[in-house]
Structure 1
Amino acid sequence: MSLLSAPRRAARVVGRAAEGIREDLDAAIARDPATDSRLEMALASPGLHAIWTHRLTHALWVNGHQLSARLISQAARAVTGVEIHPGATIGRRFFIDHGMGVVIGETAEVGDDVMLYHGVTLGGRSLEPVKRHPTLGDGVTVGAGAKVLGNITLGHGAQVGANAVVTKDVPSMCVATGIPAKVRTPEAGVDPQHALYDEPALWI
């Protein structure tokens, strides 16, 4: 029985990995108008390469192979320009557009369908060995150059403008812009992502 169960378990693991890769590719294509080809995205997206490497290093990390995980993640950083600590928890259909300069700390938690642009930092504000990095809910978008710092929570659907510095919680479906970030709730029926365009200077 055990001889049969091992190949079945392996097949399930491979199947889940393949499904995850397809999901990541489709999520990337949906968010990047520059390409509609899975092959091009798979071969030429540093953000996806960083995410896929992280999925491997995180598995190593949680299974006690921390040194191997760190070495592989550092190699990926050199190749992609994206630094994701192996301890960070990343959800499904995550996408990093452009990638360069993104940093995600050890205790960061990222939900499903999250998108980060280049230069984003999910960083810590404590030197203590505690939960010190942000938690991002499902469907969060963080604009280029934004810094989200400390053990704070961005609720589902929250949007962070480019170059914002966020050090306090952002409620679900709200918009955070500026330095320090100020939070506002879009009018009823307005998509929070569209509400970012009310302040076009943030995108320059």
Structure 2
Amino acid sequence: MRKLFKEDYYRMTGTVYETGLRSLAQWFISHQIRYVYWWRKANKSPNILNRIILKRYSKKYGLEISTGAKIGRGLYLGHPYNITVGGGVKIGDNVNLHKGCTIGRENRGKREGVPTIGDNVAIGINATVIGNIHIGNDVMIASNSFVNFDVPDHSIVIGNPGVIHHKENATEGYIAFCIK
């Protein structure tokens, strides 16, 4: 848990987490760092105290990331308010989630289920990703896009309904401080 949090901290701040004044200041300034810390802790050790603290931050900031979601290393929460990630969602390494994005379950039809999201993916403001779909690696989902279909590697998705555009290094400049 500690290693994963340190990688999340690095992705969000660009600095290495160390015991000291600078890291302590970031802890108090950045609510997303506190939230991710307690989310990782509640996933690793789901005791009642960890869940209560996580619930408090969840209500305070509108961050609803299910402890049933599986999230890889280097999570980045940008402008972190009203982000929703449903239970069972699988998210890879170095993923950016921005304000208002929703990643969740489709309850009926041929895409019933939850998404699987690859590595180095950026999901923009108010984007929605739902259903039993696969988002590849190096994918940019633009703001306000609606995605309920598979997206191949090295792509940009724009619009509602989403349109896929192939682009090598689609997230270059968006995914900073990557964890290798």
Offset of 1:104 from its aligned partner? 0.4
Structure exhibiting the larger radius of gyration computed from Cα positions: 1
The alignment covers a number of residue pairs equal to 167
Range 132-141 or range 160-169, more displaced: 132-141
Instruction: Tell me, in whole angstroms, the C-alpha distance in 2 between the residues paired with 1:71 and 1:21.
Output: 19
| Residue 191 in structure 1 maps to residue 169 in structure 2 | yes
Q: TM-score, normalised by structure 1?
A: 0.71
Offset of 1:143 from its aligned partner? 0.5
Which residue among 43, 57, 77 is the counterpart of 1:96?
Answer: 77
Residue 25 of structure 1 aligns with which residue? 9
Offset of 1:51 from its aligned partner? 1.8
Greater relative CO, 1 or 2 (CA 8 Å, sep 6+): 2
Residue 126 of structure 2 aligns with which residue? 145
Offset of 1:70 from its aligned partner? 5.6
Offset of 1:123 from its aligned partner? 1.4
Identity of aligned residues (%): 26
Instruction: Tell me, in whole angstroms, the C-alpha distance in 1 between the residues paired with 2:170 and 2:14.
Output: 18
Offset of 1:139 from its aligned partner? 0.6
| Residue 77 in structure 1 maps to residue 58 in structure 2 | yes
Instruction: Tell me, in whole angstroms, the C-alpha distance in 2 between the residues paired with 1:71 and 1:86.
Output: 12
CA, structure 1 residues 167+195, in 2 after alignment: closer, same or farther (shift >3 Å)?
farther
- Structure 2 unaligned runs (5+)? 16-21, 175-180
- Structure 1 unaligned runs (5+)? 1-16, 32-36, 197-204
Residue type at the aligned position of 1:43: F
1:1-204 aligned within 5 A: 17-30=1-14, 38-60=23-45, 71-126=52-107, 132-186=113-167, 190-193=168-171
RMSD between aligned alpha carbons?
Answer: 2.8
Instruction: Tell me, in whole angstroms, the C-alpha distance in 2 between the residues paired with 1:136 and 1:77.
Output: 22
Asked if the contact 2:127/2:142 (under 8 Å) is kept, the reply is yes
Asked if the contact 1:25/1:42 (under 8 Å) is kept, the reply is no
Offset of 1:193 from its aligned partner? 2.9
Asked if the contact 1:60/1:68 (under 8 Å) is kept, the reply is no
CA, structure 1 residues 182+40, in 2 after alignment: closer, same or farther (shift >3 Å)?
farther
Instruction: Tell me, in whole angstroms, the C-alpha distance in 2 between the residues paired with 1:138 and 1:41.
Output: 26
CA, structure 1 residues 106+70, in 2 after alignment: closer, same or farther (shift >3 Å)?
farther
Residue type at the aligned position of 1:191: N
Structure in which a larger fraction of residues adopt strand:
2
Asked if the contact 1:46/1:98 (under 8 Å) is kept, the reply is no
Residue type at the aligned position of 1:44: I
